[in-house]
Amino acid sequence: MSMNERYEPQSIEPRWQKRWEEAGAFKAGRRPQAEPRYVLEMFPYPSGAMHMGHARVYTIGDALARYLRKRGYDVLHPIGFDALGLPAENAAIKDGRHPAERTRENIVSFRAEMKKLGYAFDWEREIVTADPEYYRWNQWFFLQMLQRDVVYRREGKANWCTGCNTVIANEQVVEQEGNQVCERCSSPVVEKVIPEWAFRITKYAQSLLDGLDGLGAWPERITTMQRNWIGKSEGAEVQFAAAGSAGTKIPVFTTRVDTIFGCTYVVLAPEHPLVAKLTAPERRAEVDAFVARMKKTDAVERTGENAPKEGVFTGARAVNPFTGEEVPVWIANFVLAEYGTGAVMSVPAHDQRDFEFAKKYGLPIKTVIQPPKGERTPPGDQLAAATTEDGVLDASGPFTGLSSAEARRKMSAHAAEQGFGHATVRWHLRDWGFSRQRYWGTPIPIVYCPDHGAVPVPEKDLPVVLPPQAIITGTGEPPLAKVAEFVNTTCPRCGKPSRREVETMDTFVDSSWYYARYLSPKDAARPFAPDAAKRWLPIDVYVGGPEHAVMHLLYFRFWHRVMRELGLVQEDEPCRRLVTQGIVNGSDGRKMSKRWNNSVAPGPMVDRFGADTLRLFILFAAPPEKDIDWSDSQVEGLHRFLRRVWRVYHDRQDCFGAPEAALAQAGGDFLELRRKTHRTIKRVTDGFEADLKFNTGIAGLMELVNALEAVAPKTDADRAAVREALVALAALLSPFAPHAAEELWHEVLGPGARDRLLAEEPWPSFDPALVAADTVTIAVQVNGKLRGEVQAAVAAGEPEVRALAEGDEKVKAHLEGKTVRKVVFVPKRLINFVVG
């Protein structure tokens, strides 16, 4: 029995990967009696090759999954591929190939790379969203949601490329010399209103907002972003009557109804339906020209930061129901038709945007809010800027003197009593339009019948399969429209010749529920088995990038609620704990990209150093949520560490057979070694249990190796202590560097461990008696400054420590001639003499 002197990851790693696979070590459901844990990383989008960012997410999740398995849980750690969608279609167009073919190849390469990295996935549960057996359930959900009015057809705004004559995605709109143009043909992009399918996510706005309170284990910045994105804003809707146009009301939404006595004009969005009706004949030409110009300008340009505020007077006047005053009605570029009521009451004295507009067009400014104390706000014509803070109402009729908050309540109530308004809530969140005029997505299961209109495809006819023969050019109508075999069908209701819906679903649909499909990935009768959902959901830990804060992570919370309503899942939230990992930058600190030529691919790194080295680098560089820079020398350092680990086992082979019974006799350096061993077990364990700080855990392992290198065992007791450390080290290393750990563990344990796998062995436990020190170093401070340190028993009280401290020469010098006014004693830590 003699160990190879050299650490050779290239031969070790494939061997253990094979053993794990043969043993089915990472299959979920093998421990039905144990508590379940669901660890999930966001599945990859295989539009190209695997990159370092992927290696990072899966390495973080894998360390955790391996740890939890060793803790005895039944762990579900699945993987799949988010294969449909625009990027794959674009990549395919670029190299003139079919997205299915290209995607298939990419998946093969991803799978190989992931296996090379030794990830403990349950590969039997792999899903691919491009598989009809997956996306048929997207279609099934669509039908359920249509029935429940969660899916509906609406007129939506889309980016329309004037060159390609098609709708393009936001991602394809690029800025060129300040203009929004198509990335492919550089033609101007305009906003166009077209019919589309949408999810009524806004129906769940309150629930999605409330649910955030229970997500304490999510990063706060993510829940904050969601909160802002949902954007609940409480205010009032107030009806202004159009003067001279009996019965016409202009509803406005405001969060500051307390300022309504300062309203000096009303502004409508150019698209507002009342614009045509209200415009005075003599103003029509100018208004029409303005509206036409706004329609041609896209949203970003029109409402963006640098867009100047501009508007035109309609010639109409509106009556402020609180004051009976008539104010002019304008239209302006900055008012958004889709937010609130598409109309605003302008209070230039107390809103900066209204102020600027009023100044530009010479509209009156009226101060109606005064600060509760201090200097009074001057009249409107003397203001240099709007004062936007809450205060006390002034010149506001019967409401004068009320605080802003109280006034908002009373004025809303007053409006409701008088029938011209009410308190209301508005949301920033919009319904999710998911129609795409694209090929590489889930076909929407709808048939347009000349007699029956939009008819849902019956469930029994699912899936509506994406036809492979589509010609994808990316430059025309929806590609599916050109596939006659697909388009031409009969109405499910009456059998008349009909046309299929040719739009496909947004990719985000696929990722909204995939985590549930893993529970029973081959289920042919339903999207997944509810009893499996009961066992495994919600996800215990979800690892992914923070860039998904408001898209995917909101959509999947929405979808989970729908699934609960369908009786498929039990709880509100899909995921208990979220870990958002940082970016892997190039060694120059810039984002890895072709442009900077600073990309490093995981595959070649594994070939050179081994998967274990790459995994250790990723975990050691920084805590998961921080960005890291690639560093060749740091990687080499981690490889050096593994070689040192290897050598320490090689050099201490004589300890492998040491009798465990001798452990209790270990003394001196070897008792210290035992302490180090047990403290390291605690430290690494804490790293998993608390905040996933793998970097400090790995630092602890390095210290243990340093300690092992420093001892020279002579007796059986010495050797037993070394063996204990070697066994623990392998076990602690196994979530991070699983292959080397497995190999070393088997070397130490010898034939006794032949049929066992470290990956399945219980996590080591520590002896609290060895973790606790019996003597400690106590810092001695004088006036809070460190002046010395003393060794004392753990149990030492103040009098003993004080006596020791006062005996220290340095301390003595600092206490010389001073009066000790106070002594602060922190057991096991420090003693501080406060002198004067």
Partner RNA sequence: GGCCCUCUGGCGGAACGGUAGACGCACUCGACUCAAAAUCGAGCGGGGCGACCCCCCGUCCCGGUUCGAGUCCGGGGAGGGCCACCA
As given in the structure block, the two tokens for residue 265 are 């004009």
Taking alpha carbons only, the member of 762, 815, 763, 746 closest to residue 785 is 815
d(CA 198, CA 209): 20
Least separation, in Å, of the C-beta of 256 and RNA? 5
Q: What share of the chain is helix, strand, coil (3-state, %, to 5)?
A: 45, 20, 35
The residue range among 285-293, 304-312, 476-484, 509-517 that interacts with RNA, by the rule CB under 7 A, is 304-312
Asked if 667 contacts 716 with a C-beta cutoff of 8 angstroms, the reply is no
The residue range among 77-85, 559-567, 655-663, 688-696 that interacts with RNA, by the rule CB under 7 A, is 688-696
Least separation, in Å, of the C-beta of 590 and RNA? 11
Closer CB to RNA, residue 275 or residue 502?
275
Closer CB to RNA, residue 215 or residue 464?
215
| Backbone phi, psi, residue 552, to 5° | -50, -45
Among positions 242-261, residues that touch RNA (CB under 7 A) are 253-256
Number of residues that make up the chain? 836
The residue range among 61-69, 404-412, 599-607, 623-631 that interacts with RNA, by the rule CB under 7 A, is 623-631
Crossing angle of helices 669-689 and 694-710, in 10° steps, is: 170
The greatest distance separating any two alpha carbons of the chain, rounded to the nearest whole angstrom, comes to: 108
Q: Based on the shown chain and the rule CB under 7 A, indicate whether residue 311 belongs to the binding site for RNA.
A: no
Choose, by CB under 7 A, the member of 85, 342, 478, 610 that binds RNA. 342
Asked if 675 contacts 667 with a C-beta cutoff of 8 angstroms, the reply is no
Asked if 675 contacts 768 with a C-beta cutoff of 8 angstroms, the reply is no
Q: Based on the shown chain and the rule CB under 7 A, indicate whether residue 815 belongs to the binding site for RNA.
A: no
Crossing angle of helices 611-620 and 9-23, in 10° steps, is: 90
Choose, by CB under 7 A, the member of 248, 598, 695, 715 that binds RNA. 695
Q: Is the dihedral of CA 245, 246, 252, 258 positive or negative?
A: positive
d(CA 563, CA 363): 53
Least separation, in Å, of the C-beta of 658 and RNA? 23
Q: Based on the shown chain and the rule CB under 7 A, indicate whether residue 709 belongs to the binding site for RNA.
A: yes
Beta bridge partners of 76: 38
Least separation, in Å, of the C-beta of 116 and RNA? 23
Among positions 757-786, residues that touch RNA (CB under 7 A) are 777, 779, 781, 783-786
Binding residues for RNA, how many (CB under 7 A)? 85
Closer CB to RNA, residue 490 or residue 775?
775
Least separation, in Å, of the C-beta of 593 and RNA? 13
The residue range among 113-121, 414-422, 572-580, 636-644 that interacts with RNA, by the rule CB under 7 A, is 636-644
Alpha helices in 150-243 (DSSP H): 205-211, 220-230
Choose, by CB under 7 A, the member of 46, 61, 235, 463 that binds RNA. 235
String marking each residue 258-297 x if it binds RNA according to CB under 7 A: -----------x----------------------------
Choose, by CB under 7 A, the member of 81, 119, 334, 536 that binds RNA. 334
d(CA 261, CA 323): 7
Least separation, in Å, of the C-beta of 308 and RNA? 6
The residue range among 62-70, 80-88, 556-564, 631-639 that interacts with RNA, by the rule CB under 7 A, is 631-639
Among positions 420-449, residues that touch RNA (CB under 7 A) are 426, 428
The residue range among 174-182, 532-540, 639-647, 744-752 that interacts with RNA, by the rule CB under 7 A, is 639-647
d(CA 283, CA 134): 57
Taking alpha carbons only, the member of 415, 410, 414, 355 closest to residue 387 is 355
Choose, by CB under 7 A, the member of 147, 228, 570, 765 that binds RNA. 228
d(CA 645, CA 702): 9
Closer CB to RNA, residue 572 or residue 806?
806
Choose, by CB under 7 A, the member of 30, 283, 353, 499 that binds RNA. 353
d(CA 225, CA 256): 24
Least separation, in Å, of the C-beta of 553 and RNA? 12
The residue range among 27-35, 336-344, 417-425, 457-465 that interacts with RNA, by the rule CB under 7 A, is 336-344
Closer CB to RNA, residue 536 or residue 641?
641
Asked if 238 contacts 251 with a C-beta cutoff of 8 angstroms, the reply is yes
Tell me which H or E stretch contains 268: strand 265-268
**Coil vs helix vs strand at 375:** coil
Q: Based on the shown chain and the rule CB under 7 A, indicate whether residue 13 belongs to the binding site for RNA.
A: no
String marking each residue 495-524 x if it binds RNA according to CB under 7 A: ------------------------------
Q: Are strands 232-242 and 249-254 parallel, antiparallel or unpaired?
A: antiparallel
Among positions 523-552, residues that touch RNA (CB under 7 A) are 546-547, 549-550
Q: Based on the shown chain and the rule CB under 7 A, indicate whether residue 706 belongs to the binding site for RNA.
A: yes
Closer CB to RNA, residue 75 or residue 778?
778
Q: Based on the shown chain and the rule CB under 7 A, indicate whether residue 376 belongs to the binding site for RNA.
A: no
CA–centroid distance for 237 within its chain? 34
The residue range among 140-148, 218-226, 712-720, 799-807 that interacts with RNA, by the rule CB under 7 A, is 218-226
Least separation, in Å, of the C-beta of 41 and RNA? 20
Q: Based on the shown chain and the rule CB under 7 A, indicate whether residue 631 belongs to the binding site for RNA.
A: yes
Among positions 563-622, residues that touch RNA (CB under 7 A) are 620-622
Closer CB to RNA, residue 69 or residue 676?
676
Token pair 């388009």 in the structure block, residue: 487
Least separation, in Å, of the C-beta of 636 and RNA? 6
**Coil vs helix vs strand at 204:** helix
Least separation, in Å, of the C-beta of 760 and RNA? 28
| Backbone phi, psi, residue 424, to 5° | -155, 170
**Count of CB atoms situated within 10 Å of the CB of 216:** 10
Least separation, in Å, of the C-beta of 713 and RNA? 16
Q: Based on the shown chain and the rule CB under 7 A, indicate whether residue 173 belongs to the binding site for RNA.
A: no
d(CA 145, CA 152): 9
Amino acid at 610: G
Crossing angle of helices 738-749 and 716-733, in 10° steps, is: 150
Choose, by CB under 7 A, the member of 93, 696, 716, 760 that binds RNA. 696
The residue range among 1-9, 112-120, 485-493, 822-830 that interacts with RNA, by the rule CB under 7 A, is 822-830
Beta bridge partners of 424: 235
3-state secondary structure 18-40: HHHHHHCCCCCCCCCCCCEEEEE
d(CA 791, CA 804): 8
Q: Based on the shown chain and the rule CB under 7 A, indicate whether residue 41 belongs to the binding site for RNA.
A: no
Q: Based on the shown chain and the rule CB under 7 A, indicate whether residue 822 belongs to the binding site for RNA.
A: yes
As given in the structure block, the two tokens for residue 391 are 């205060």
Q: Based on the shown chain and the rule CB under 7 A, indicate whether residue 702 belongs to the binding site for RNA.
A: yes
Beta bridge partners of 114: none
Q: Based on the shown chain and the rule CB under 7 A, indicate whether residue 626 belongs to the binding site for RNA.
A: yes
